[in-house]
Amino acid sequence: MSQSSLDDEELFGEAAEEMRADVEEHLAAAREQLPTADGIWDVDSENTLGVLNALRSAFDVEGAEEHLRDAKKAFVVGERADAFEDAESLEADIEAVENVLGDVETAREEVGELAATIPELRGALEDAHAASDDDSAAGDDADDEDEA
């Protein structure tokens, strides 16, 4: 084997190690950007809408999505170059983070829809109770007239 090909093999090995490290670093960064369990469980607010808005903010995973994308890009390049000895384990890690991100994004959308619905529902309930109070007051007035 010539010196040139040995150097190429060594360089390829180093590049493969660096790609794997890059994928792993981006996956770790993506995991760090995910909301914490306590961050979505313990929310301080004085009303339901405040809780929902705090929860929606906790579900912001834009940074995690960016790191996952970078991890996937490095993985694809490394996989196509056949640079990873155990590409399956990296792929499984990527899928796991991707699944959690999908769940968080779904929850964020649902919380957003609920946060948009709650003020409307509150107004409708206030109107319904006001109408009920008006009907009760009108009924009481009619009873007073009948007794007179």
pLDDT given at position 145 = 56
Q: What is the pLDDT of residue 144?
A: 56
> Smallest Cα–Cα separation from 78: which of 17, 148, 147?
17
Q: What does pTM read for this prediction? A: 0.76
Please tell me the predicted confidence (pLDDT) of residue 3: 53
What's the pLDDT score for residue 1? 46
Number of domains in the chain: 1
- Expressed as residue numbers, the domain containing 140 is 3-147
pLDDT tens, position by position, 114-131:
999 999 999 999 999 998
pLDDT score at 4:
55
DSSP assignment string, the chain: --HHHHHHHHHHHHHHHHHHHHHHHHHHHHHHHSPPHHHHH----SSHHHHHHHHHHHT--HHHHHHHHHHHHHHHHHHHTT--TTHHHHHHHHHHHHHHHHHHHHHHHHHHHHHHHHHHHHHHHHHHHHHHHHHHHHHHHHHHHHH-
Q: Which parts of the chain have pLDDT scores under 50? A: 1
Give the pLDDT score at 58.
Answer: 92
Burial class of 43 by CB neighbour count within 10 A (0 to 12, 13 to 18, 19+)? middle
Provide the pLDDT for residue 143.
57
* Residue 116: predicted pLDDT: 94
